Amino acid sequence: MTAAVTTDTEHDEAPDTGDGGRGAARRFGALALAAAVVVGLLLGYAGGLLTPTLTRPGDNSAEAGFARDMSSHHAQAVAMGLLAFRQGQDPEVRQMGGDIATGQQGEIGTMQTWLRSWKLDPTGEQPPMAWMSDGAAVRNGLMPGMATPEEMAKLKAATGREFDVLFLQMMIRHHVGGVHMIDGILDQGHDDDVLAVAQVMKNTQQKDLTNLQAALKRLGGTL
């Protein structure tokens, strides 16, 4: 499981539609966000290199399981965030999408660097979520809060307010599942640096949840 940088720009090459420059501005913004995502990933890698390696978590440790699973979980959030930045109608939705994409791509970089510094592969032999002591449910191979391929396809096809509401609903569920996973490593982990980063992740996602729920309420949507 190597976490790829999500910088799909297929929508950024659309022809000019005579919209007074707004299309060009959006295309420029999408390219700038793609660059920011790459920078965030590199900074995440650099941050991960600062983790001491005197005692390295093992292949079946909670830390390794968390780093692998949360990298995959974050990758979907990055994809959703980039969609929101490109397709969102509401300015706040676009801003939140961009912020989530860049922030979580940086965290992927940190977690992948941990695995390399621990001399571990990005993927392990254990199934997803096996590291969590409470046996968190994995449905159809998806970790808590993750969207199905059908839900992702529906989001990509949506436009206008329908897209904004659907994005907010899906990202709220995604973040709730992510916080559950973070709570798992905070309960079971022993590596101080992993625990410190996990706590920052939790604080960020809880703040995001407050903003996402407020935006959903403002747009008249429900969970």
Domains of the chain: 62-219 (1.20.1260.10)
Determine the Cα–Cα distance for residues 89 and 86; give it in Å rounded to an integer.
Answer: 9
Which pLDDT does position 43 carry in this prediction? 56
pLDDT digits 0-9 by tens, 64-80 = 999 999 999 999 999 99
Least confident of 54-58, 146-150, 216-220: 54-58
How is the chain split among helix, strand and coil, in percent rounded to 5? Answer: 65, 0, 30
**Between 199 and 25, the higher pLDDT residue:** 199
Torsion of CA 9, 14, 19, 22, to 10 degrees: 20
Least confident of 48-52, 168-172, 212-216: 48-52
pLDDT at 31 over 90: no
Determine the Cα–Cα distance for residues 41 and 7; give it in Å rounded to an integer.
Answer: 11
Determine the Cα–Cα distance for residues 108 and 94; give it in Å rounded to an integer.
Answer: 21
Token representation of residue 48: 């991960």
Which pLDDT does position 38 carry in this prediction? 55
Q: What is the pTM of this model?
A: 0.77
Which pLDDT does position 95 carry in this prediction? 98
Look up tokens 């900074």; give the residue: 43
Token representation of residue 111: 């977690």
**Between 163 and 10, the higher pLDDT residue:** 163
Which pLDDT does position 55 carry in this prediction? 77
